Amino acid sequence: MGNARNIAFWLILFLLILALFNLFSGSGNTLQSQAVPYSEFVTAVDKGSVSEATIDGETIRYRGTDGAQYTTIRPEDAEITQRLIENGVAVKAESQDQSGFQSFLISLLPFLLLIGVWIYFMNRMQGGGKGGAMGFGKSKAKMLTEKSGRVTFDDVAGIDEAKEELEEIVEFLRNPQKFRRLGGQIPKGALLVGPPGTGKTLLARAIAGEAGVPFFTISGSDFVEMFVGVGASRVRDMFEQAKKNAPCIVFIDEIDAVGRHRGAGYGGGNDEREQTLNQLLVEMDGFESNEGVIIIAATNRKDVLDPALLRPGRFDRQVTVPNPDIKGREKILGVHARKTPLGPDVDLRLIARGTPGFSGADLANLVNEAALTAARVGRRFVTMVDFENAKDKVMMGAERRSMVLTDDQKEKTAFHEAGHAVVGLTLPKCDPVYKATIIPRGGALGMVVSLPEIDRLNWHRSECEEKLAMTMAGKAAEILKYGEDNVSNGPAGDIQQASGLARAMVMRWGMSDKVGNVDYEQAHEGYMGNAAGGFSISAHTKELIEEEVRRLIDEAYQKAKSILEERRKEWERLAEGLLEYETLTGDEIRRVMAGDPPEPGDDEGSAPVTEKPSVIAVPKTKPKSSRGGEGGDGGLEPEPST
């Protein structure tokens, strides 16, 4: 339908341009004639030099006996027709009505052309929505019908509590009398809250597959347009469609795009987004009730949503969709591995233990990378080695073996990474070292990865202090080996991680006796401005915070330096082992430090698999893009339990 409208528009536009060209080309004949005075025309007539003449009002066009075209303007009171006839000149006359109509068309066509172009671009700008150019106030919600590729609750794993909450909504839609006989009312809305990739949208698709009722899906950004009032109109139209199909479910993905806190922007009361939010609030719970219309929304930014949107009666349930625990990860791996032929040595529980903090999307990516790795080498099924290689690639980045490094760069990287590993193995509350490598991965020239033995739910002060020491061990190692004048920019990522962890300890977690148990993060960062709860702090307090942050980092640096001085021989043995073998696992690191060679074959898949990755990187070339600044618990403000 849209293509037919576009073809018709271009056809009409072409015909209008063609008609305009013909009109101008027809009148262009006059421009090609030579203009002469009227007296000269009369003289030519008397001499018999005129073969034919055309009288068009006051304009006379005539052809001379020499074949040339001439034109002249006849005076208002002059009579020339009889004289032309008497001299044997063929005389023609043109209707004045036709000329006037042509003039009218010539004046009207530019306006018609502009109107047509405006309608076309309005239609294009609004995406050719329903109703043509004037239909951009219609809702863009799509009714989801999953005849093929249907997703059910069997495809959702690892988030059992969230699934139970939503299964109850589906049960209510199937059998409402079961709840109503006890006075229960159907929830009006459910808000899915959780980190990216945890399965919020997958849950919504499962509800659509299980409920057996109409399911509308729309994104929060689909409401917002450049014209004020369009978003509100789309909200009204969406609820009208939903009421006609009740009972039904409406899923709004990324609702924070339209549901942000009112008054935090610059648009005031006429802001398009705020108008859309106001209409959404009224439609969800206003004077008119929406029986049978359930709103399910998803966001990972609950903190920015307007309080009026979160109250009971609008979103009655707030379902938390967290990252899965070890049992959940095992179930998710089982779901994603259904279509993947697995080798006899693959233990999904062992893989789940080695991937803490991974979301459902991360685990799906892990299975896919393992399958791609196996296919690349020509295997018929996926083995445990493929999963280990895929895990290293996901956690640390792809190997960059083609990168050319000098012997000096390799040596500095080896001593730097050996420093991290030795301090991490010495301090009892640091996570066990999983692997150390000097093969460039991502933006880093080397890495040490540590994994906790269990799912980490909170952080203690002593653990944070030892974590800081392990993070600063790379710089301490470079200074001990090469002196302060030869330290490189390699520790840039370590310093960034240490600063983030130390600031969290001082400003958020109350782990500084001088600063006390006050949350200074919002004030220090200017979070959402003072209007949204931020506050000002004095210069003295800022100075005190920076002093405490520096004290924690300096103490961690001194602790790491003293450990490396005490265990210098073991540290140097490990550095030489990394130069020789490039990659060592946890058990191999201990043997090399003790002076024994690593056992052959332990490089592939023999690493002790435990928990959440903690990456310490040496970004000598691109510190900001290093995995050390991006990986897991690597000092970047780990969240404590609440």
- Active-site positions read 417
- In whole angstroms, give the CA distance from residue 358 to residue 370: 15
Q: Which is it for strands 59-64 and 50-56: parallel, antiparallel or unpaired?
A: antiparallel
Structure tokens at 243: 């009421």
Tokens of 277: 């939010």
Measured CA angle at 137 (ends 135, 139), to 5 deg: 100
CB 611 within 8 A of CB 453: yes
- Per DSSP, the chain holds a count of helices (H) and strands (E) of 21, 15
Question: Is-contact 235 223, C-beta < 8 A?
Answer: yes
Would you state the structure tokens that stand for residue 449, as one six-digit string?
Answer: 């990865």
Measured over the CA atoms of residue 189, residue 194, residue 196 and residue 197, the dihedral's sign is negative
Whole-number Cα distances in Å, 159 to 94, 180, 196, 330, 610: 87, 28, 14, 12, 21
Please give the Cα distance from 622 to 440 (Å, whole number): 12
- Look at residue 120 and give its three-state secondary structure: helix
Which residues are registered as beta bridge partners of 536?
A: none
DSSP string, 16-55: HHHHHHHHHHHHHHHHHSEE--HHHHHHHHHHT-EEEEEE
Which residues are registered as beta bridge partners of 444? 441
Residue 15, φ and ψ in degrees, nearest 5: -65, -40
Name the DSSP letter for residue 317: E
Return the HEC string of 388-432. HHHHHHHHHCCECCCCCCCHHHHHHHHHHHHHHHHHHHHCCCCCC
User: What is the number of other CB atoms lying within 10 angstroms of the CB of residue 527?
Assistant: 13
Say if CB 604 and CB 386 are below 8 A apart.
no
Rounded distance, CA 417 to CA 438, Å? 7
DSSP 236: H
Burial of 24 (0-12, 13-18, 19+ CB in 10 A): exposed
Residue of 624, 566, 330 lying closest to 455 (CA atoms) = 330
Distance separating alpha carbons of residues 42 and 566, to the nearest angstrom: 123
Is 249 within 8 Å of 216 (Cβ atoms)? Answer: yes
